[in-house]
Amino acid sequence: MRFRHRRARELEEGESYYVSMTDLMVGVLFIFIIMLAYFALHFRDTTEELISAKDAQTTALMQVATDLRARQAEIEVDNRNRIVCLKDTDLLEAGATGDRRCFAYSAVTPGRNTDETTQRIAAAQALFASSLNGDIGSAVPSASVNLSDGSTSFDADRLFTTGTATLTDEGRTAVAELARGLAARLPCMAYGVSVSNCPETPKMNLVTIVAYANINAAITEGRAAQALSLERSVVFHQALLTAQPVLGQLKNQPQGGEPLLRLVSVSQSSSSAPSGGSGKTLAIRFEMAAPAQK
């Protein structure tokens, strides 16, 4: 009976040993599964963080640029004003003349002092500017689109017949292409019209059509040039609304609010300005509102 008793005890001790090992292996396997699930869940975020730019504006542009190719190019950089210039032979595959092309780049430097709101607005501006440039860049070569915020400038004397507020053929093309691009994008960034399938993006606070001119206000011709500059901005504004009536319905607030598209005329008086004025530019500026806090 003693032999049987000792044998039973040895069997119990052996079985207990194997049970403990099984529990240990199950515990290790369970921890391994938890770690694997954790890394799987964070793989996408980690990969995006590693391959994306730290600047929100650059990251946004990289989402649009789907066919980037490396090229050797000599660039000139104005660090103070954040302007970079290079020859169009490094940019264009056809039609290059060897002239310089200059662009503004983001003044937003990523870091601890750059808040999320600023980064988000910069990214939204970059996407809007890139899209707008794609809309009108090829159709209106004379248009100058700032790729930081989308501000677009035109030579007023090319948009209008000399000395008048009558649109030229180039001016009508510019109006049509610009209106089409704005009508495709602004309704999702404003209020006043019903839209669907809009991406989450900050709203526009103001879109301003600005007429610039250097004039001599001391003479009759200078004041006439100032009046013509204002009249041209009015004609340009009306032409945009005629081409795409939806632009006239856009507001900057959900309830009430002001029209999104507005007019400004800026004239700088100088005694050295020619009698008919100079530096006549028509531009459209975009001002984004800060995203609402959640």
* pLDDT tens for each residue of 47-72: 555 555 555 556 656 655 667 777 78
Higher pLDDT, 276 or 249: 249
Query: Per-residue pLDDT for 237 more than 90?
Result: yes
In a domain, 125, yes or no: yes
Residue 272, domain member (yes or no): yes
AA letter at 43: F
Residue 13's pLDDT band (boundaries 50, 70, 90)? low
DSSP 8-state assignment for residue 28: H
Q: Among 97-101, 180-184, 246-250, 265-269, which is the least confidently predicted range?
A: 97-101
What percent of the chain has a predicted confidence (pLDDT) above 90?
Answer: 20
Residue with the bigger pLDDT between 16 and 119: it is 119
The per-residue b/e assignment along 123-152, b for 16 or more CB within 10 angstroms, e otherwise, is bbbbbbbbebbebbbeebeebbbbbbbbbb
pLDDT in tens, 99-152: 777 766 655 554 444 566 777 777 788 788 888 888 887 778 778 888 778 889
* Domain tally, the chain: 1
Residue 166 lies in a domain: yes
Pick the closest to residue 241 from 233, 230, 252 (CA basis): 233
Domain annotation covers residue 198: yes
Instruction: Tell me: pLDDT of 247 over 90.
Output: yes
CA distances from 150 to 32, 178, 187, 204, 246 (A): 50, 12, 16, 12, 20
| Residue 266 placed within a domain | yes
- Could you tell me if residue 203 is inside a domain? yes
Range of the domain at 156: 111-288
Q: Is the pLDDT of residue 167 over 80?
A: yes
Q: What are phi and psi of 143, to 5 degrees?
A: -70, 140
163 touches 230 (CB < 8 A): no
CATH number for the domain including 131? 3.30.1330.60
